[in-house]
Amino acid sequence: MKFYDCQPAPSPRRVRIFIAEKGLLDRIEIVPVDLRGGAHFKPEFERINPFRTLPALELDDGTCISESIACCKYIEAAFPEPPLMGRTPKEQGVIAMWEHRCEWDGFIGGAEMLRNTAPGMKDRGLTGPLAFEQIPALADRGRKRITWFHDFLEKRLAETAYVGGDAYSIADITALISIDFAARQKADIPESHTNLKRWYDQINARPSSKI
Ligand SMILES: N[C@@H](CCC(=O)N[C@@H](CS)C(=O)NCC(=O)O)C(=O)O
């Protein structure tokens, strides 16, 4: 299996951490893709992902799977231990709910900020092959969404050890990469959010967070 990766980008990091937590780093070939240099728009990338985003997996039979959560679902099914998406139906539902919430307000909020302000992202308001103009108001909205994201995680982590419940899961991974993505844009965890900070320090100390 191959994993199409880009070191600084948050979505590939989400799957890279998932792979590391499964102990699969030495069983999967990592193929770096230069997003800044536009390697994902070269004709040969069409086969890997016609939507022109990272991450992507290529299975040994040539099947390609893009979308971070789809890559993680495939890995979870193929390599169930340790479970990162819950064991029981209840755990699976609760973890999926929190994971999606973190992607929706955390990752997307960060993407709205970056893609609607960075000079290097002119006409790259959305990923993919079409040009989308930057809309500065969306960057402001993204910043608000990050405030909301930090606030709801602070409340959640006053009640549970991990975002998805009692155990580390994909919900923690998506929360971590979204928090770091927002922090790169000067939207840090507020000092007052002591539960979120405690959780962050603990998750950030895991070896998988460093790769
Ligand atoms: N929904 C996609 C989002 C992936 C995404 O936004 N990837 C970014 C890197 S974090 C990308 O490939 N950007 C390419 C571009 O900006 O042209 C997923 O979860 O995989």
Asked whether residue 135 is assigned to any structural domain, the reply reads yes
Is there a single domain that holds both residue 72 and residue 98? no
Please state the rounded mean pLDDT for residues 128-155.
Answer: 98
Give me the CATH number covering residue 190.
1.20.1050.10
Cβ neighbours for 100, distance < 8 A, ≥ 6 positions apart: none
Q: Predicted confidence band at 143 (pLDDT cuts at 50, 70, 90)?
A: very high
In tens, the pLDDT along 144-183 reads: 999 999 999 999 999 999 999 999 999 999 999 999 999 9
Is there a single domain that holds both residue 105 and residue 178? yes
Q: What is the pLDDT of residue 189?
A: 98
Is there a single domain that holds both residue 106 and residue 73? no
CA atoms of 112 and 181, how far apart (whole Å): 11
Is there a single domain that holds both residue 22 and residue 45? yes
Measuring CA to CA, which residue among 150, 155, 151 is closest to residue 183? 150
Domain extent, residue 72, equals 2-78
In tens, the pLDDT along 22-35 reads: 999 999 999 999 99
Q: What is the pLDDT of residue 29?
A: 97
Asked whether residue 125 is assigned to any structural domain, the reply reads yes
Is there a single domain that holds both residue 140 and residue 167? yes
Ligand 1 site, residue 54, Cβ cutoff 6 A: yes
Q: Token pair of 176, please?
A: 């971590």
Is there a single domain that holds both residue 195 and residue 93? yes
Asked whether residue 37 is assigned to any structural domain, the reply reads yes
Cα–ligand 1 centroid distance for 194 (angstroms): 31
Ligand 1 pocket test, pick from 46, 53, 100, 173 with the greatest ligand atom count within 8 Å of Cβ, gives 53
Q: What is the pLDDT of residue 102?
A: 98
Is there a single domain that holds both residue 93 and residue 191? yes
Asked whether residue 84 is assigned to any structural domain, the reply reads no
Is there a single domain that holds both residue 115 and residue 163? yes
In tens, the pLDDT along 63-95 reads: 999 999 999 999 999 999 999 999 999 999 999
In tens, the pLDDT along 99-119 reads: 999 999 999 999 999 999 999
Ligand 1 site, residue 127, Cβ cutoff 6 A: yes
For tokens 């919430």, name the residue: 101
Asked whether residue 52 is assigned to any structural domain, the reply reads yes
**Helix then strand then coil, % of the chain, to nearest 5:** 50, 10, 40
Is there a single domain that holds both residue 112 and residue 184? yes
Is there a single domain that holds both residue 30 and residue 126? no
Cα–ligand 1 centroid distance for 107 (angstroms): 10
Q: How many domains does the chain have?
A: 2
pTM more than 0.85: yes
